[in-house]
Structure 1
């Protein structure tokens, strides 16, 4: 379980970096962001997303499962943030207050400008922004990483 959890965590980090830096339109829309914005996003998110891997490795190296549980909690908080950001507006019409901090736009406006022309497989619910496939895959990877990291910590 340790190797699977580690692989899922690192796959999510790598996937996020590629989706942030590499133009794969219409799967993603990095064209709408300046290169400096892309690098900043990766510089901020990659260490946070990689922290659960470090903690899981630390748990394995020390035999202290608390490190693994801490990694699972960090991964869970990260995926919860992504789920709240993307799924609350779609399912409940509720936007998280931090969704567009410092952007000067609403989530609907930001979504329309940056994600609405990417691949979206979900049906419309009124005029609510829909999670795109890129983020659905990222959230799936992160959720699987959180679950397997808890299981890996419990098996130590």
Structure 2
């Protein structure tokens, strides 16, 4: 179970980096994000996304269930942050303060320019930005990694 959790964390991080830097249109639309936006997103988020894998690995090597719990907790916080970023604007029309990471644009503008022309499977709710499939996959991977990590911590 621990190896599965570590693999899911790494898979989520690799998926994130690829979908942030490589144009896979219509899954993503990185060509409409500025190089600074893409670079900032990877430099800030990739290390945070990878940290739980490091903690889970050390926890497994040293048989420290509490450290696996910490790594899984960080993964869960990342999942909750991603869900807040994408689902609060869609479901309740509230944008989180960190949504645009000092890019000088609003979440609605960034979404319209970068994500609105990607694969979106959710129905419209007014003019609210909708989570795209790319991010729904990422959130599922991160959440699965967190849940699996907690189970693995219980088995150490």
C-alpha displacement at 1:66, in angstroms?
1.1
Distance of 1:109 and 1:40 partners within structure 2 = 18
C-alpha displacement at 1:81, in angstroms?
0.5
Give the aligned partner of residue 102 of structure 1: 102
Paired residues, number: 156
C-alpha displacement at 1:68, in angstroms?
0.2
Q: Bigger CA drift: 97-106 or 44-53?
A: 97-106
C-alpha displacement at 1:36, in angstroms?
4.7
| Paired residue secondary structure (1:81) | helix
Distance of 1:101 and 1:71 partners within structure 2 = 24
Give the aligned partner of residue 80 of structure 1: 80
Q: Are residue 112 (structure 1) and residue 112 (structure 2) matched?
A: yes
C-alpha displacement at 1:100, in angstroms?
2.1
CA contact (8 A) 2:37 2:103 kept: no
Q: Structure 2 length normalisation: TM-score?
A: 0.95
Alignment of 1:39-78 (within 5 A): 39-78=39-78
Gaps of at least 5 residues in structure 1 are none
Alignment of 1:1-156 (within 5 A): 1-156=1-156
| Paired residue secondary structure (2:59) | helix
Distance of 1:48 and 1:20 partners within structure 2 = 15
Q: Bigger CA drift: 115-124 or 24-33?
A: 24-33
Q: Structure 1 length normalisation: TM-score?
A: 0.95
C-alpha displacement at 1:83, in angstroms?
0.2
Distance of 1:12 and 1:131 partners within structure 2 = 17
Per-residue CA distance 1:105-152 (angstroms, 9 max, x = gap): 221111111110011000001111000000000000000000000111
Distance of 1:55 and 1:97 partners within structure 2 = 28
C-alpha displacement at 1:3, in angstroms?
1.3
Distance of 1:101 and 1:12 partners within structure 2 = 21
